[in-house]
Copies of this chain bind each other. A is one copy, B any other.
Amino acid sequence: MPTLLLDRQKCLRNIEKMVLRAAGQQMVLRPHCKTHQSAEIGNWFMDFGIHSITVSSFRMAGYFASAGWNDILVAFPFHPGEVKLLESISEICHLSILVDSPAALPFLNHLSGQVGLYIDIDTGYGRTGVRSEDTELIEQIITKTGTNRHLEFRGFYCHAGHSYRAASRKELDTIFLKSIGDLEQLKSQFKTLSPKLVFGDTPNCSIQEEFGEIDEITPGNFVFYDLIQHALGSCGMEDIAVAMECPVAGRYPSDERIVIHGGAIHFSKDALMNEGRPVFGRLVHRSQEGWAEAEDEVFISSVSQEHGALEKCGELVRKVNIGEPLLFLPAHSCLTVNLMRRYQTLDGKQISTLNG
Protein backbone atom coordinates (compact mmCIF):
# COMPACT_ATOMS: atom_id res chain seq x y z
CA MET A 1 0.00 0.00 0.00
CA PRO A 2 1.37 3.47 -0.75
CA THR A 3 2.68 5.29 2.31
CA LEU A 4 3.30 9.01 2.78
CA LEU A 5 6.71 9.47 4.39
CA LEU A 6 7.62 12.61 6.27
CA ASP A 7 11.18 13.76 6.94
CA ARG A 8 10.70 15.65 10.20
CA GLN A 9 14.15 17.24 10.06
CA LYS A 10 13.56 18.73 6.61
CA CYS A 11 10.15 19.92 7.70
CA LEU A 12 11.52 21.57 10.86
CA ARG A 13 14.23 23.22 8.77
CA ASN A 14 11.60 24.61 6.39
CA ILE A 15 9.60 25.94 9.32
CA GLU A 16 12.64 27.49 10.97
CA LYS A 17 13.74 29.21 7.76
CA MET A 18 10.32 30.79 7.30
CA VAL A 19 10.18 31.81 10.97
CA LEU A 20 13.53 33.58 10.54
CA ARG A 21 12.49 35.21 7.26
CA ALA A 22 9.34 36.62 8.86
CA ALA A 23 11.20 37.77 11.98
CA GLY A 24 13.86 39.43 9.83
CA GLN A 25 11.16 41.63 8.32
CA GLN A 26 9.28 42.21 11.58
CA MET A 27 6.35 40.27 10.21
CA VAL A 28 4.10 37.80 11.98
CA LEU A 29 4.18 34.32 10.43
CA ARG A 30 0.59 33.05 10.28
CA PRO A 31 1.22 29.76 8.48
CA HIS A 32 -1.51 28.23 6.36
CA CYS A 33 -2.42 24.76 7.63
CA LYS A 34 -4.17 23.50 4.49
CA THR A 35 -1.02 21.70 3.38
CA HIS A 36 -0.22 19.66 6.51
CA GLN A 37 -3.77 19.52 8.00
CA SER A 38 -2.28 18.01 11.15
CA ALA A 39 -2.58 19.05 14.80
CA GLU A 40 0.72 17.38 15.61
CA ILE A 41 2.60 19.26 12.89
CA GLY A 42 0.81 22.39 14.09
CA ASN A 43 2.51 21.79 17.43
CA TRP A 44 5.92 21.94 15.73
CA PHE A 45 5.02 25.50 14.71
CA MET A 46 3.98 26.30 18.29
CA ASP A 47 7.43 25.17 19.41
CA PHE A 48 8.84 27.98 17.25
CA GLY A 49 6.65 30.52 19.04
CA ILE A 50 4.00 30.72 16.32
CA HIS A 51 0.61 31.56 17.81
CA SER A 52 -1.64 32.37 14.85
CA ILE A 53 -2.62 30.28 11.83
CA THR A 54 -4.53 30.38 8.58
CA VAL A 55 -6.91 27.63 7.42
CA SER A 56 -9.00 27.08 4.30
CA SER A 57 -12.35 26.00 5.77
CA PHE A 58 -14.39 26.33 8.94
CA ARG A 59 -14.14 22.58 9.39
CA MET A 60 -10.35 22.94 9.46
CA ALA A 61 -10.69 25.90 11.83
CA GLY A 62 -12.71 23.73 14.23
CA TYR A 63 -10.07 20.99 14.12
CA PHE A 64 -7.20 23.37 14.93
CA ALA A 65 -9.21 25.29 17.54
CA SER A 66 -9.79 21.98 19.34
CA ALA A 67 -6.04 21.37 19.09
CA GLY A 68 -5.37 24.54 21.08
CA TRP A 69 -4.94 27.30 18.51
CA ASN A 70 -6.43 30.56 19.66
CA ASP A 71 -5.99 32.89 16.66
CA ILE A 72 -7.31 31.47 13.40
CA LEU A 73 -7.99 33.16 10.06
CA VAL A 74 -10.33 31.28 7.72
CA ALA A 75 -8.93 32.36 4.36
CA PHE A 76 -11.92 31.35 2.30
CA PRO A 77 -14.76 33.81 1.57
CA PHE A 78 -17.36 33.54 4.31
CA HIS A 79 -20.78 32.40 3.07
CA PRO A 80 -23.96 32.05 5.12
CA GLY A 81 -24.01 28.24 5.16
CA GLU A 82 -21.09 28.43 7.60
CA VAL A 83 -22.73 30.62 10.28
CA LYS A 84 -23.45 27.83 12.77
CA LEU A 85 -19.98 26.37 12.50
CA LEU A 86 -18.45 29.86 12.79
CA GLU A 87 -20.51 30.55 15.89
CA SER A 88 -19.48 27.34 17.65
CA ILE A 89 -15.78 27.76 16.81
CA SER A 90 -15.72 31.43 17.81
CA GLU A 91 -16.74 30.32 21.30
CA ILE A 92 -13.42 28.52 21.78
CA CYS A 93 -10.96 30.76 19.89
CA HIS A 94 -10.41 34.12 18.24
CA LEU A 95 -11.64 33.67 14.72
CA SER A 96 -11.15 35.96 11.74
CA ILE A 97 -13.01 35.66 8.49
CA LEU A 98 -12.50 36.83 4.94
CA VAL A 99 -15.11 38.69 2.89
CA ASP A 100 -15.12 40.34 -0.51
CA SER A 101 -18.70 41.59 -0.61
CA PRO A 102 -21.16 43.25 1.76
CA ALA A 103 -23.71 40.56 0.78
CA ALA A 104 -22.49 38.05 3.35
CA LEU A 105 -22.50 40.47 6.28
CA PRO A 106 -26.21 40.48 7.23
CA PHE A 107 -25.88 36.80 8.09
CA LEU A 108 -23.47 37.79 10.86
CA ASN A 109 -25.86 40.16 12.65
CA HIS A 110 -26.77 37.73 15.39
CA LEU A 111 -23.44 36.32 16.48
CA SER A 112 -22.94 35.87 20.20
CA GLY A 113 -19.20 36.65 20.21
CA GLN A 114 -16.67 38.80 18.36
CA VAL A 115 -15.18 37.92 14.99
CA GLY A 116 -12.34 39.63 13.15
CA LEU A 117 -12.83 40.54 9.50
CA TYR A 118 -10.34 40.90 6.67
CA ILE A 119 -11.21 42.11 3.21
CA ASP A 120 -9.96 39.81 0.47
CA ILE A 121 -8.07 41.87 -2.13
CA ASP A 122 -7.54 40.74 -5.72
CA THR A 123 -4.30 42.19 -7.05
CA GLY A 124 -4.56 40.30 -10.34
CA TYR A 125 -5.07 36.63 -9.50
CA GLY A 126 -8.70 36.73 -10.64
CA ARG A 127 -10.14 34.15 -8.27
CA THR A 128 -11.81 35.81 -5.28
CA GLY A 129 -11.43 39.25 -3.73
CA VAL A 130 -12.28 42.89 -4.32
CA ARG A 131 -10.07 44.37 -7.03
CA SER A 132 -7.47 46.61 -5.40
CA GLU A 133 -8.72 49.66 -7.28
CA ASP A 134 -12.36 49.20 -6.28
CA THR A 135 -12.16 51.39 -3.17
CA GLU A 136 -15.88 52.11 -3.41
CA LEU A 137 -16.71 48.46 -2.72
CA ILE A 138 -14.04 48.32 -0.01
CA GLU A 139 -15.62 51.33 1.69
CA GLN A 140 -19.04 49.72 1.48
CA ILE A 141 -17.76 46.60 3.22
CA ILE A 142 -15.98 48.62 5.91
CA THR A 143 -19.05 50.77 6.54
CA LYS A 144 -21.34 47.78 6.79
CA THR A 145 -18.86 46.00 9.06
CA GLY A 146 -18.93 49.05 11.32
CA THR A 147 -22.66 48.68 11.85
CA ASN A 148 -22.25 45.17 13.26
CA ARG A 149 -21.01 45.19 16.84
CA HIS A 150 -19.90 41.55 16.54
CA LEU A 151 -17.47 42.27 13.70
CA GLU A 152 -14.12 44.01 13.91
CA PHE A 153 -12.43 45.16 10.71
CA ARG A 154 -8.80 44.04 10.91
CA GLY A 155 -7.31 44.74 7.52
CA PHE A 156 -6.59 43.51 4.02
CA TYR A 157 -5.68 40.00 2.89
CA CYS A 158 -4.18 38.99 -0.44
CA HIS A 159 -3.29 35.58 -1.81
CA ALA A 160 -1.34 36.29 -4.98
CA GLY A 161 -2.11 32.89 -6.48
CA HIS A 162 -1.06 34.09 -9.93
CA SER A 163 2.50 33.64 -8.66
CA TYR A 164 1.99 29.99 -9.61
CA ARG A 165 1.54 31.01 -13.23
CA ALA A 166 4.73 33.10 -13.33
CA ALA A 167 6.99 31.87 -16.12
CA SER A 168 10.13 33.61 -14.82
CA ARG A 169 11.62 35.25 -11.75
CA LYS A 170 10.99 38.61 -13.39
CA GLU A 171 7.28 37.83 -13.77
CA LEU A 172 7.11 36.67 -10.17
CA ASP A 173 8.75 39.91 -9.03
CA THR A 174 6.28 41.96 -11.06
CA ILE A 175 3.33 40.14 -9.45
CA PHE A 176 4.86 40.58 -6.01
CA LEU A 177 5.63 44.28 -6.35
CA LYS A 178 2.18 45.04 -7.78
CA SER A 179 0.50 43.11 -4.93
CA ILE A 180 2.56 44.72 -2.19
CA GLY A 181 2.13 48.13 -3.76
CA ASP A 182 -1.64 47.75 -3.98
CA LEU A 183 -1.87 46.64 -0.36
CA GLU A 184 0.34 49.49 0.84
CA GLN A 185 -1.84 51.98 -0.98
CA LEU A 186 -4.92 50.60 0.79
CA LYS A 187 -3.12 50.78 4.12
CA SER A 188 -2.38 54.42 3.46
CA GLN A 189 -5.85 55.23 2.16
CA PHE A 190 -7.56 53.66 5.20
CA LYS A 191 -4.86 54.59 7.71
CA THR A 192 -7.34 55.91 10.28
CA LEU A 193 -8.48 52.30 10.72
CA SER A 194 -4.90 51.00 11.16
CA PRO A 195 -5.50 48.05 8.85
CA LYS A 196 -3.16 45.07 8.97
CA LEU A 197 -1.75 43.81 5.68
CA VAL A 198 -1.80 40.02 5.39
CA PHE A 199 -0.10 38.49 2.38
CA GLY A 200 1.13 35.15 1.41
CA ASP A 201 1.91 32.55 -1.12
CA THR A 202 4.78 30.13 -0.79
CA PRO A 203 6.75 31.21 -3.90
CA ASN A 204 6.89 34.87 -2.87
CA CYS A 205 7.36 34.19 0.84
CA SER A 206 10.24 31.82 0.04
CA ILE A 207 12.06 34.06 -2.41
CA GLN A 208 11.41 37.75 -1.83
CA GLU A 209 13.66 39.82 0.42
CA GLU A 210 11.75 43.00 1.11
CA PHE A 211 8.10 42.92 2.18
CA GLY A 212 7.51 46.63 2.72
CA GLU A 213 4.61 47.30 5.04
CA ILE A 214 3.25 43.75 5.12
CA ASP A 215 2.33 42.80 8.70
CA GLU A 216 1.68 39.10 8.39
CA ILE A 217 2.54 36.37 5.89
CA THR A 218 0.48 33.22 5.36
CA PRO A 219 2.44 30.72 3.26
CA GLY A 220 1.39 27.08 3.63
CA ASN A 221 3.06 24.75 1.18
CA PHE A 222 6.60 25.64 2.38
CA VAL A 223 6.16 23.25 5.31
CA PHE A 224 6.87 20.40 2.86
CA TYR A 225 7.36 22.01 -0.57
CA ASP A 226 6.99 19.82 -3.68
CA LEU A 227 7.98 19.50 -7.35
CA ILE A 228 5.74 22.37 -8.45
CA GLN A 229 7.39 24.69 -5.90
CA HIS A 230 10.81 23.45 -6.97
CA ALA A 231 10.00 24.28 -10.59
CA LEU A 232 8.98 27.79 -9.47
CA GLY A 233 12.28 28.25 -7.67
CA SER A 234 10.78 28.30 -4.16
CA CYS A 235 13.00 25.51 -2.82
CA GLY A 236 15.78 23.10 -3.54
CA MET A 237 15.01 19.45 -4.25
CA GLU A 238 16.64 18.69 -0.88
CA ASP A 239 14.03 20.81 0.94
CA ILE A 240 11.06 18.66 -0.09
CA ALA A 241 10.02 17.02 3.19
CA VAL A 242 7.48 14.41 2.05
CA ALA A 243 7.86 11.44 -0.24
CA MET A 244 5.53 8.69 -1.32
CA GLU A 245 6.65 5.11 -0.85
CA CYS A 246 5.00 2.98 -3.54
CA PRO A 247 5.63 -0.70 -4.30
CA VAL A 248 6.46 -1.86 -7.81
CA ALA A 249 3.38 -3.67 -9.14
CA GLY A 250 4.57 -4.43 -12.66
CA ARG A 251 7.74 -4.42 -14.81
CA TYR A 252 7.66 -4.15 -18.62
CA PRO A 253 11.28 -4.20 -19.80
CA SER A 254 10.57 -4.15 -23.53
CA ASP A 255 8.59 -0.93 -23.08
CA GLU A 256 10.97 0.50 -20.44
CA ARG A 257 7.95 0.92 -18.14
CA ILE A 258 7.38 0.28 -14.45
CA VAL A 259 3.92 0.37 -12.89
CA ILE A 260 3.64 1.20 -9.21
CA HIS A 261 0.85 0.99 -6.68
CA GLY A 262 0.28 4.73 -6.35
CA GLY A 263 -2.19 6.59 -8.55
CA ALA A 264 -4.71 9.40 -8.71
CA ILE A 265 -6.23 8.51 -5.32
CA HIS A 266 -2.77 8.79 -3.70
CA PHE A 267 -0.86 11.51 -5.58
CA SER A 268 -3.90 13.38 -7.00
CA LYS A 269 -4.17 14.25 -10.68
CA ASP A 270 -2.15 17.43 -10.26
CA ALA A 271 1.03 17.47 -12.30
CA LEU A 272 3.73 19.78 -13.46
CA MET A 273 4.73 19.71 -17.09
CA ASN A 274 8.24 18.68 -18.06
CA GLU A 275 9.11 18.89 -21.75
CA GLY A 276 5.48 18.41 -22.68
CA ARG A 277 4.89 15.41 -20.40
CA PRO A 278 3.03 15.51 -17.09
CA VAL A 279 4.99 14.68 -13.94
CA PHE A 280 3.00 13.38 -10.95
CA GLY A 281 6.05 12.36 -8.95
CA ARG A 282 9.82 12.09 -9.28
CA LEU A 283 11.91 9.13 -8.20
CA VAL A 284 14.38 9.64 -5.33
CA HIS A 285 16.78 7.16 -3.79
CA ARG A 286 16.63 5.87 -0.28
CA SER A 287 19.59 7.15 1.72
CA GLN A 288 20.81 6.73 5.26
CA GLU A 289 19.07 9.93 6.31
CA GLY A 290 15.86 9.24 4.39
CA TRP A 291 16.02 9.98 0.69
CA ALA A 292 18.26 11.82 -1.74
CA GLU A 293 18.02 13.02 -5.31
CA ALA A 294 18.43 10.25 -7.89
CA GLU A 295 21.02 10.57 -10.64
CA ASP A 296 18.57 9.66 -13.38
CA GLU A 297 15.44 11.67 -13.84
CA VAL A 298 12.63 9.15 -13.59
CA PHE A 299 9.07 10.41 -13.38
CA ILE A 300 5.57 9.13 -12.79
CA SER A 301 4.20 10.21 -16.14
CA SER A 302 0.66 8.87 -15.96
CA VAL A 303 -1.77 7.87 -13.25
CA SER A 304 -5.09 6.11 -13.12
CA GLN A 305 -7.09 5.41 -9.95
CA GLU A 306 -4.62 3.02 -8.24
CA HIS A 307 -1.81 2.82 -10.82
CA GLY A 308 1.13 5.07 -11.58
CA ALA A 309 3.36 4.47 -14.60
CA LEU A 310 7.04 5.33 -14.98
CA GLU A 311 7.16 5.45 -18.77
CA LYS A 312 10.46 5.53 -20.65
CA CYS A 313 12.23 4.82 -17.35
CA GLY A 314 15.29 3.36 -19.07
CA GLU A 315 17.51 0.84 -17.31
CA LEU A 316 15.66 1.13 -14.01
CA VAL A 317 13.08 -1.39 -15.21
CA ARG A 318 15.78 -4.08 -15.23
CA LYS A 319 16.99 -3.21 -11.74
CA VAL A 320 13.77 -3.31 -9.72
CA ASN A 321 11.75 -6.24 -8.43
CA ILE A 322 8.02 -6.75 -8.06
CA GLY A 323 6.99 -5.48 -4.64
CA GLU A 324 10.10 -3.33 -4.17
CA PRO A 325 9.17 0.00 -2.60
CA LEU A 326 10.24 3.07 -4.59
CA LEU A 327 10.21 6.64 -3.30
CA PHE A 328 8.79 9.65 -5.11
CA LEU A 329 8.59 13.35 -4.43
CA PRO A 330 5.01 14.47 -5.16
CA ALA A 331 4.10 17.14 -7.72
CA HIS A 332 1.68 18.82 -5.32
CA SER A 333 2.10 17.97 -1.64
CA CYS A 334 -1.14 19.67 -0.46
CA LEU A 335 -3.34 17.39 -2.56
CA THR A 336 -1.24 14.30 -1.86
CA VAL A 337 -1.48 14.85 1.90
CA ASN A 338 -5.22 15.46 1.62
CA LEU A 339 -5.63 12.09 -0.11
CA MET A 340 -3.20 10.08 2.04
CA ARG A 341 -4.60 11.47 5.32
CA ARG A 342 -1.71 10.30 7.47
CA TYR A 343 2.07 10.41 7.57
CA GLN A 344 4.77 8.02 8.61
CA THR A 345 7.93 9.69 9.88
CA LEU A 346 11.33 8.26 8.99
CA ASP A 347 11.50 6.62 12.40
CA GLY A 348 8.17 4.92 11.84
CA LYS A 349 5.84 7.13 13.86
CA GLN A 350 2.29 7.65 12.55
CA ILE A 351 0.95 11.22 12.34
CA SER A 352 -2.74 11.84 11.74
CA THR A 353 -4.55 14.72 10.03
CA LEU A 354 -7.97 16.32 10.03
CA ASN A 355 -9.22 13.46 7.87
CA GLY A 356 -7.87 10.46 9.74
Taking CB atoms, residues of chain B closer than 8 Å to A322 are: 77, 79-80, 101, 103-104
Chain A binding surface, main DSSP class: mixed
Report whether A247 and B127 are in contact in the complex, using a CB–CB cutoff of 8 Å.
Answer: no
**Is the CB of A70 closer than 8 A to any CB of chain B?**
no
| Inter-subunit contact A79/B305 (CB<8 Å) | no
Interchain CB contact under 8 A, A127 and B307:
yes
Is the CB of A261 closer than 8 A to any CB of chain B? yes
CB closest residue in chain B, given A265: B338
Chain B residue with Cβ nearest A302: B127
Q: Are B128 and A76 in contact (CB under 8 A)?
A: no
Stretch among A144-152, A188-196, A205-213, A249-257 lining the B interface: A249-257
Count of chain A residues with a beta carbon within 8 Å of a chain B beta carbon: 52
Could you write out 20 A-B pairs with CB less than 8 Å apart? A1-B57, A56-B305, A57-B261, A76-B261, A77-B249, A79-B247, A80-B322, A80-B323, A81-B323, A81-B325, A101-B251, A126-B257, A128-B250, A161-B304, A264-B268, A264-B335, A265-B338, A269-B269, A305-B338, A355-B356
Q: Interface on A for B, CB 8 Å cutoff?
A: 1, 34, 56-57, 59, 76-77, 79-82, 100-101, 103-104, 107, 126-129, 161, 247-252, 255, 257, 259, 261, 264-265, 268-270, 302, 304-307, 309, 321-323, 325, 334-335, 338-339, 355-356
